[in-house]
Structures are given as structure tokens and as C-alpha cells.
Structure 1
Amino acid sequence: MSKAYQLLTESIIQYAEAISFTISEITISYKNKLLYKETLAHEGSNQVTTVNHDSFTIKLTATKGSPQLKSFVKQQIQLLSPPADVEDKGKDLLLNLSRTLALYQRLDDVLLRIMDMAMDVFPVSDSCSLYIYNEKKDTLIPRVTRGFNWQHLQNIRFKPGESLTGFTFQTKKAQIFHHTDEVYQGMSSMSEENWKHFYASTPDKDGEKVKAQSAMCCPLMIQEDCIGVVSINSFREVGHFTDEDLELLKAICNQAAFAVHRASLFTELENQADKLMKLNHDIQLKNQTLEQTLHNHNQLMDMALEQQGMDSIITFIGDRLNTSVFLYDEFRQLLSSIVNGDIPFEGSIPPFLETMTPDRVQPIHLPEYGVVVVPVVTRMEARGFLVVVTNHWPLNHMEKMLIEEAQNIIAIELLKQEAIYETKQRIQGEFLEDIQGKVDINVLVDQAKLLGLSDRETYLFFGIHFDHTNQDYDWNVRETKSLHHLVEGFIANHFNSSIIFNRINGLRGIIGFPTEVKEESVRHQMNHFIDQLDNYLRKYFKDRSFSYATGRLTPLEEIRKSYKDVWYCIEIFNRHKRPNQRMTYREAGVAKMMMNNTEEELYQFVVDHVKPLMDYTNQNKRDLLETLEKYLFNHQHLKEVAKELHLHSNTLNYRLKRLSEILEADIRDAEVIFHLRMAWNIMNLLGTKQEWLYRA
């Protein structure tokens, strides 16, 4: 028996050390008779803590009292006086348990030993599971099991109060369920998800899932806190758990709780040690790469200071990484690249950048393209994208450091380009103001030559107008700048000389042509160019629309005429407020003549050519007017008109024939079409179409 007292004393000393508490003496007495005493070499301890249970007394001498230690001793002293019918078995078991658990420090090992011993001591037990409480998730999570299928049981997450295990945790009291009805009544609160996993984990017998005939659950308590639950089941119809078995399980769990708590502390310390080791490894790695990082930094800085340009920087990165590297600006235009081997995409137009917003500030790996996209950030905004072709992710430490250094240098270069762009815009803006003003034409020509224009070419103005179909939408500076870069790059691929100006309601531009090119050829060329440009811009501005104006072709000294053509077209766009318009200086001239007349004169012109339709009162009037308008403004392309109106060709031909009858004129005749279009333009300019055409 003295061996039991010695083990109990060692258990108390271990717990005191775990909570950093110093004990100088421990005595164990039975009916005031000293049974065991151990004195430790600590001086200055004079406060005595006494714990009594039945006829046993344990006294602890220390420098001060500890409620935490006293609570633990209260649990341990109960082990000295189990019920009479389990006394011998219990004491031997607990002594063996204490010795066994003292050999293990890791939490998983301790949990396995506890479970194995619980299974061994109860002959009728067929399964045992041990759950640990996760405070952050407020759930009981299975850690080890015997008798159940772990593949399924490990997915169970019991909430406090749920099923037998959760109820035991919530009440902090050991529970026994003597027969099947009690077991499954207690399990009735189990969630549907947990029941699915529990049922799948239950063993089979003769092709059917076995049922628990009796069960015991006992909490693992540390002072007033429950840290877990031990659950034991019997699938046997003969021989159930007894109240004496429950008392023995309580004794086991009292001893096991401390071991679990101690192992948890050890595991936590071990995790902290692992973190420190990892931190030390990271420091060593950084020290090893510091010299290379400084070398890369110095070389990149030298390139920037010597103004070697973006190509040198990108080439340096590609050579260091031994791969292909591409740099795109914030508008997805290729600025520089170095190609080492095959690349899995078209470098000039990478498809993955079309859906990537400039606001993304974190690197992203795109395995389907075999690239890493790294944003280049200045002033807290992404100004470009560095695309590195690589098949491995994440990047290693050296690659990360090199790219971080490159990001900073590229950001500086982009800021320089930003300053150049703003200066260029200011100078070009002043030139445009001089075109609008009364500056002497010779001074204007000299300014134009400084901007790269030549008197050996002819020029025309063109305009891109923002269609404000949505009154709540305004183009911000960033979007206007994006449009400017896209248009500038697109025009540079089609024409040798050009200048683009930013305006509040769109863009204006000058395009140069060889002097020998005829105006009719330029007109067809510009129509084709505007079609291509509009399709190109729609890829980037899917929810926006644009109208386009083209001025006349003039020598450099007469460029103001072309500018005024475009200005007048834009004024008409603003009055029309209809999207996707295209107008040349010729059409603007017709509109200008209309606007030189009074409203009464314009009204009379409309009446002269459209009065039969004004007076027409049949219920299909609206359909006929819509058909006529589509016909007039789709260049009389019947297929396009039918498509827009969702009409069969026979129906469209019938309506056109009916319109000719009402107007008493052949609407296929060019002169009739001209007058009808003129009438429609007048009504659109004055905003009177509804009033005049649909009058009572």
C-alpha cells in the first residue's frame, strides 16, 4: 500500500510543478495515523493546506495556498477510498494507470493509453471513443477510438448538450445508460449530419449495424472545467455496465484528466519550440540570401539611375529567373518582355489579363497558363502587371526577393512614365486650346511640328464621344486615361503619325496621311478604322458606348477647319443623345443648315414630307413609324432592319409597301429617302418627334 501513497505523492508533485507551485512537505494520514510522508528541500514554507475525505487526510506545506492545487488533491484523495467491491481492482488499475501515463508526454500517446486501459478494465466494453473540447469552435472533436470506423467517426462534431457525449460535457457529470432504449433516447438530440457519420462508423454484424445495449460517458475535469469526454459502449445483449463500473470509470477519468492536461501543455510547448526552430531557419535563410539580394538591388538601382530603360530591367529579371517575363501597364498593354523558350499564351494579348482588374494587389498563380501575375503598385494602386512564366508555386525565397526588388524599381520607372504622360498631355492640351483660339496660324504650325506633325502630310481631326445613355454615370479620370492609352496604342498600329487629346466628354485626335492619298480613299479608310476601333474598345468597356466624328482632310495650316467639323458633330451628338452615332463633316454640314432655320420653318419642312404619316390614325401607326425609322437609319439594308425589328422579310416588305402608299411616294427613291432622313433629323434635333408624329 505504501507504493500507492508514493505514486499519489508523485502525482501531486508533478501537478504542482506543472502549475509552477512549490511544495516543501506532503503527509498522508488515515484516522490521524501517519501513513506516508515526503519532505522536499525547500525552505521558508509554513502555510499548510489540509484536504479530508472519509478517514484520509492529506496535508501540503508550502509558502502559500493554491485553490487550483487543492482542487486537484481533492480529486486524487478519492482514489484512496473507492467502493468496497471494486477497491482491489480499482487501486491496482489506478496505480498501473498512474505509472503508465507518467511514461508519456505527447497528447496523442496519452489519449491512446487512456482508451486502451478503459477498454481492458471493462470486459463487456466493445468500443471506446475519447473526445476533446475545442473552445474556439465550441465543439467536442473525436481524437481516438476503438470499435468504430475512424474514417467516418473523425467527421463528427458534437455541440455541448448534443447526444450522450455533449450532454455529459454540459452537465459535467458521469452518465450511465443501462439498456438500448436509454442509449438511443439520449442520442435523439444528435444532429442529422453527425448521425450520418455516426451510423456509417458503427460496426456491422451479420450484415446489419450493431446497436449499443448499454453505455457510459464520463467527463475529464480540471478543476471546474471539462476538457473532454470518454464514451464507452457495449454491443452485447448479455452483460451490461453497472453503477460500480461507472464509479471505476470516474476514478480512471479523474486520473486521466491531469495526464491529458499535462500532455496538452507539453504539446503546446512543443509547438512553440517548433515555431522557434522554423523562425531560426527562416533567419538563416534570409542571411544566406542577403548578399544575393543586395547584389540584385544594386544592379537594378544602377539601371534605374543610369536610365537604361524598362527593357534592361525586364531582361535582367528574365536572366536571373531563367524564364520568360512580360510587363504590362495598368491598361494591359505590353511594355516590355524577354522570351526564354516557349510560352503557353500570346504574349502581346494575354487572355488572363482581360478579366483581371487593376485593383488586385496580391500575386496570383494561374496554373492553366503556367504563369504568376505580380501587380506593380504605386500610390496604393496597381499600375501594371509583371507576368513570370513558371510551373512551380509558390515561388522560392530567392525568386520572391528578386521580384520584390523588381517591383520597386519598375514602380519608380512607371512613376517617371506617368510624369512624362502628364507633361505630354499638358503640352498637347495647350496646343488644342490654341487650335480653338486665335493664335497665328504660323505659330500653330510651328507648335504642331514640335509635336511631331509635318507640313509634308495632310491631316484630319476625329472625335470619340462618351454616350451618356446612363445619366447616373460619369467617366472618371482613371477610365478616361485607360481609354486614352488603348486608343493611342491602337491608332499607332494603323497610322504613322497621330496625336490624342483628352477632353471632358471624350477624346479628340489628329491623324496624318500622305499628301498623295485621295479624300475618298481616306473616308473609306476611316470608316473601316472606326469599325475596328469600336470593336476593340467594346472588349474593354462592355457596358459603354461611343459615337465617332470625322472632320475633313486638310493641310496642316488649315487644321482648324477639320477641328470645327468635329466640334460641330459633337454638338449634334449632345443634342441627339442617341448612342453609337457616326457622323462626318458632310453630315454635320446638313445639320448646320437645318439649325440656321426657325423652328416654324423646320416644322413646315417636316409637314411637307411626313404629313400623311402625322394624320394617319390606324392602330398600327407606331409599328409603321418604327419600321420607317429603322429603314432610314440602317442604310436601307432590309436584312438588318428585319433583324432589329424581329420581322419576317415578307412582313417588312408589306410595311414598306404600305408606307409608300400612305406617303404617296416611293420610299426606295434616293430623293425621298434624303427628305425623310432630313425630317427625322430635324425632329431628333428639336426633340419633337413624339409631339409631331403622334399628335391627336
Structure 2
Amino acid sequence: MNDTLSHRQLQSLIEVSNVLNSSLDIDTIIDSIMQVTVSVIDAADGGVLFLYDRQQECLIATSTYGFNPQILDQVRLKPGESMTGLAFSARQCLIFENPEEVARTTSTLTPRNLDFMVTSIPNRPQSAICAPIMSKGECIGVITLDSFQKDLHFTQEDIKLVKAISHQAAVAIEKARLYREKQQTVRELEKLNYTITQQNKMLSRSVEIHGHLADLVLRGEGLHAILHYINEVFGYQTFLFDELGELVESASRISEEILPQVKQQVFTPVESLHPTYTLAHIEIHGVSHHFVRLPIGSKPNLLGFLAVLATQTIGEVDIAALEHACTVISLELVKTQAIFDTQQRLKGEFIEDLFAGRVNEGLIQQAKYLNLDPNRNYLVSIIHMDDLDSIEPEQRTSLKRHLIELANRLFIENYPHSLAVTKQDQIVMLLSFSMKGSMPYHTRQITDLAHQFLQEISQKNWNTTVTIGIGRAKSGLIQVGKSAQEAKKGLQFLKSYALKKNIISYSELGVQRLLLQNSEEELLDFINETLGPLLEYETQRKGELLPTLIIYLEHNQNSKETAEALHIHTNTLNYRLKRMEEILGIELMDTEQFLNLHLAVRLYQYLEGKL
């Protein structure tokens, strides 16, 4: 199934926006919501829009499509009652995929409501979907869609579409309610005429700007064109930030001095008199600026913020038009993310087959499509996101996208004909190079790039750390799975032995590979067999022989350097070495015995805490 919104669905969402912004009458808006929603969801045969009545503490059917409205108007659902009540209480979109689920949930209907439902709807739905309408953190109603077709079911794409519509419905209903309240409270005719005039200006300007923005989206012009148009129409400096605080797009050149001030203002929590935007004043280079922050999307699916900076006052008419622009920007961001997810999924499937050794003609053709030469040399590097679970779910997607963009800029630009892809909590990089330059040279260069990668992350406010494992270079795609295994073993080594480093290359492990190739029990047995008598002796004495041995080995058996490092006389060192030989029953000049001793000491340094 295509992960992106279809062209028809995108046009339908734009049509919803036009309809919702074409009237301030709440009844017209509510009826329009149901008509348009049912028309754009293929599986929907009918639907009901319920609004919550605070005084009666129940959900009332306010608009119906495909059912008898005179009967359904009498339905009064309590929170938690039937499918609609469950969605209201859960405050999240619910899908009931089969008649059994529908029957189970509708069994909670009161006898009175059940009679109304049976009279209005002779047959039970085959499936249903219920989307809450959220405003200011509260559920103000529910959109319920029913399908009576056995062979046509609601999909995940339908959920995305209904969520988007419910968000627009919430804003439109809230605005319509505010407008109705104003109509009721305004007593003076002149003030009422002025208010209506202002609302009409907002409406016509919003519709005009929406038409241009809709054309940009449908032509696939992208975010830059959208922000450039806003800048051109309003004359304001505009900035688009994602939820991590990174600048996604700007319609005008911005100095390094201004950006931190704007960013700080965007992400500083402030109380606002307005439900959908924040107004402030900031001073830049001694000049006072008006500042407006508008959210893109809404919690828990907040996509970022649009920031507007101007030396002149930003009026309500312009703010209303900017709010409308935010809806279009959110659609563009959702579309871009869907494309990104699809590309990552396809690359991930390719990598999975490649690493599993399922190399066939089809996979080779897929590699060529991805601009990968099967005959070049390849090296796998894996970036592990250490604390991804501690990050808010809505921020994980942006974090992964930023990390893979950084990986592409640092690694892929230096190693063309390569590939980087996200896989759960990892970024897997398949780096390609020719025979020009030795393989150790490329390993060193990739390690240097990994250090640069860590440095750039440390300068960001992403609240994340990564560890990087680097495999050895292999000849041809057929062998690349081995490099991937080596990169994973390097990451396993870092995790198991809590080393104070974030980058490891399999080629630098040396004897440490034994830690990965043998069980911990076997390694501990080897340490005890080789060093056991000395360890036992140390626990009963001053504990100076083992540290002396470690320093001795670190200085490549150079007695003078070792004595200087320990601040002891050479004779004292020789005495200690002789005593060690006696305790262990070995001779340090014996090549085989010395090799075993050296290996046991290295293993001891990693496994000391487990002895």
C-alpha cells in the first residue's frame, strides 16, 4: 500500500479546509464535515458527528450522513458507551475491524439508545472508525464512520486522513463557537458590523492565500516555495522549526546572531491568550520586532512551529491567513515524512536480504538501482542510538531523520555509491570504495568521520548519544554480511564491557576478539588457571605485584621505564618479577608462558568485576 496520501485525498483535505473556512456558521461547518469526510473515505457508507454537551454530560448526534437524522438526534451517549463513547474517553482514534468487535462494543448501549440505533440502522456495521475531535487538550466530540460492506475495510491510511480532518474540524468548530459567542455578546450595531467586516477580511485573505498554497502543494513545489510565498505576500521573515528545534526551512537569509534569538523564543514556554498562536516582542540589534509563533499540527502529533518576525504590527487578518498556511505546511510535512519512511523501508529490506546472504540476480539488480556496484569494496558501519526509548515518541522520527541526514552528509558524501538506512534503533551504513588507497587507510578515514559525527551530535540539543561499530572492508557485495557481523560484534563489545569510548573498529580489537568468540565462563577459567595463584596472593598481601605486572606489560617489558612509572628502584622491580615467577610457577623468558600470562592479564582487565 502506498504510504503517502493520494492525490485525491490531498485534494479532499484541501477541499475540507476550503469548506471549513468558507463559513463561520457552526451548523454549516458541522454538516460540511460529515459530507466531505464520508465522501473521501472509500469504506465509509455513513457517519455521525457527535458533540459533547457539558451540561447534560453526554455526546449528542449533531450531524448525520446516510442515516435518519430525526431518530439519531434523540441519541444521548455517555462517555465510554458504545464505540463513540469509548473513543471519547480514550481520546484517540479507534478502529473496529469486524462485526464481532462492533457487536461487543455496541452491547454497552442503554436500552433507549439501542432502540434508536436499531430503528435508524437496521443492519449492524461490518466495521467502524471513531476519531475524537480535540481542542485545547479536551475532547469536544467524535466523528464516527460506519461501513456496511464485507469486502471493504477501513485502513491505516483512513485513520491518518480522519485524524487530519478531525484536527481541522476542531479548529473550525472552536472558531465558529467563538464567533457565535461574539454574536451573542455584541450589543452595539457598529461594533458588530466592525467585527463582521474583520472576519470577512480574514476569510477572504485566508481563502486567497490558501488557493495559492494549495497550487504549490499540488505542483510538488516543496517547503521552500511555500515559505517563500508567505514571505513574498506578507513581507515577514518566516522560519520553520521541527519539534527538535532544528531549522527546517527559511524564506530569507538569516544571520547566525538572529537565529539563536528566534529559536529561543520559539521553544520558551509562555502563557498565551490565544489558543493557536503566541505573540511576543523581541529586540534584535536594538530594533523592536513583533514575533508570532504558530504550531504545525497539534499534540501529540506536533510537527514543529512556524515563526514570523516583523518590524511592523502583525494583525489578526494576517495571523488568520498564517494559521491556514500552517495547515498546508503540515500536509507537506506529512507527505515528506511518508516518502522518507517508504524509501527507508525499501532500503532496509534490501540491507536485510544482503546481510542474510540472500544474494541473487534480483538483489544484484536492486543494488544497481541503488547505485551500488557489486564488484567494489564495501565496509559496514553501524550507528547505535543508545537511549532512543527515553525520547518522546513524537520526537524519535525527527531524530532518526536528522541523524541519517548527518550520516549522509559526512559519510555518503565522502564515499559516493554508498547507502545509509535506519533500522529500528540503528543507522546502518554500507560504505563503498575502490582499490585506490589501502583498506587500513579507509578504516582510519571512516573512524575520523565517526569522531566528527559524534562531535556534531554533541553540539546539538538532541538529548541523545550514539555508539559506532566499524567492520572490516570486504571485496564485493556477497561478502558484506561478514563486515556487518563485525560491526555488530564491536557494538556488543562496547556494551558488554562498558568501555569509555563510543567508537570501535573490529580491526583494532586484536586479542579482544577472544572476548566475543568464547563464553564468559571459559575466559574466567583461563584467567584463574593462569593468574589464580597471583590473585590469591594479592588478596592476602599489599596487592602490589599485579599492578606491577600490568605496568610492566604496558611498557613492553622495559625494566627502566617500568621502574620510573612505579617510582621504584630497578632492583625492587626485579625482585617483584622474580616473586611473581615463583608464585605462578613460570618463567617470563619462556615465550609460550609469557604469551599466556600477557593474554590472561588483558582479559583480567576486562573481566575483573566478574571474578
User: TM-score, normalised on structure 2?
Assistant: 0.53
2: CA distance between counterparts of 1:623 and 1:284? 92
Q: CA deviation at 1:451?
A: 2.8
**Which residue, 229, 245, 253 being the options, matches 1:316?**
229
Asked if 1:511 is matched to 2:394, the reply is no
**Which residue, 317, 342, 345 being the options, matches 1:423?**
342
Q: CA deviation at 1:563?
A: 1.1
1: CA distance between counterparts of 2:218 and 2:543? 73
1:228 is aligned to none
Q: CA deviation at 1:287?
A: 1.9
1:264 is aligned to none
Residues 263-288 of structure 1: per-residue CA shift (max 9 Å, x gap): xxxxxxxxx76887655423211223
2: CA distance between counterparts of 1:306 and 1:615? 80
Asked if 1:603 is matched to 2:502, the reply is no
Asked if 1:304 is matched to 2:217, the reply is yes
Q: 1:285 to 1:571 in 2, by over 3 A?
A: same
Q: Report 1:665-684 matches (<5 A).
A: 678-679=599-600, 682-683=603-604
Q: 1:373 to 1:455 in 2, by over 3 A?
A: farther
2: CA distance between counterparts of 1:659 and 1:581? 36
2:403 is aligned to 487
Q: 1:418 to 1:519 in 2, by over 3 A?
A: same
1: CA distance between counterparts of 2:326 and 2:315? 16
2:308 is aligned to 388
CA RMSD of aligned residues (A): 4.7
Residues 291-327 of structure 1: per-residue CA shift (max 9 Å, x gap): 3322111111111122222221111011112233232
Q: Report 1:609-628 matches (<5 A).
A: 612=534, 615-617=537-539, 621=543
The letter of the residue matching 1:367 is: I
Asked if 1:561 is matched to 2:482, the reply is yes
**Which residue, 335, 345, 348 being the options, matches 2:257?**
345
Q: Report 1:44-83 matches (<5 A).
A: none
Q: 1:602 to 1:384 in 2, by over 3 A?
A: same
Q: CA deviation at 1:400?
A: 0.5
Q: 1:591 to 1:626 in 2, by over 3 A?
A: same
The letter of the residue matching 1:521 is: Y
2: CA distance between counterparts of 1:652 and 1:351? 52
**Which residue, 372, 377, 383 being the options, matches 2:297?**
377
**Which residue, 370, 388, 399 being the options, matches 1:451?**
370
2:496 is aligned to 575
Q: CA deviation at 1:523?
A: 2.2
1:115 is aligned to none
1: CA distance between counterparts of 2:334 and 2:309? 25
**1:552, 1:585 within 8 Å by CA — same for their partners in 2?**
yes
**1:576, 1:684 within 8 Å by CA — same for their partners in 2?**
no
2:468 is aligned to 548
Q: CA deviation at 1:347?
A: 5.5
1:463 is aligned to 382
Query: What are structure 1's unaligned runs of at least 5 residues?
Result: 1-271, 637-649
Q: 1:349 to 1:286 in 2, by over 3 A?
A: closer
2: CA distance between counterparts of 1:308 and 1:396? 28
**1:550, 1:566 within 8 Å by CA — same for their partners in 2?**
yes
- Calculate percent identity across the aligned residue pairs: 21
1:432 is aligned to 351
Residues 332-360 of structure 1: per-residue CA shift (max 9 Å, x gap): 444332216x6463669975389669xx9
Q: CA deviation at 1:412?
A: 0.5
**Which residue, 333, 358, 365 being the options, matches 1:414?**
333
1: CA distance between counterparts of 2:409 and 2:326? 29
Q: 1:296 to 1:553 in 2, by over 3 A?
A: same
Q: Report 1:89-488 matches (<5 A).
A: 278-339=191-252, 343=255, 345=257, 352=264, 362-363=277-278, 365=280, 367-368=282-283, 372-377=292-297, 380-392=300-312, 395-455=314-374, 458-467=377-386, 477-488=393-404
The letter of the residue matching 1:562 is: S
2: CA distance between counterparts of 1:320 and 1:443? 51
1:525 is aligned to 445
Q: 1:327 to 1:476 in 2, by over 3 A?
A: closer
SS in 2 for 1:308: coil
In the comparison of the two structures, how many residue pairs are matched?
393
Residues 596-615 of structure 1: per-residue CA shift (max 9 Å, x gap): 45645653356536864553
Query: What are structure 2's unaligned runs of at least 5 residues?
Result: 1-184, 557-562, 581-587
Q: 1:387 to 1:602 in 2, by over 3 A?
A: same
**2:523, 2:603 within 8 Å by CA — same for their partners in 1?**
no
User: TM-score, normalised on structure 1?
Assistant: 0.47
Q: CA deviation at 1:477?
A: 4.8
1: CA distance between counterparts of 2:407 and 2:569? 41
Residues 101-142 of structure 1: per-residue CA shift (max 9 Å, x gap): xxxxxxxxxxxxxxxxxxxxxxxxxxxxxxxxxxxxxxxxxx
Q: CA deviation at 1:655?
A: 9.3
Residues 6-63 of structure 1: per-residue CA shift (max 9 Å, x gap): xxxxxxxxxxxxxxxxxxxxxxxxxxxxxxxxxxxxxxxxxxxxxxxxxxxxxxxxxx
Q: 1:571 to 1:478 in 2, by over 3 A?
A: farther
1:198 is aligned to none
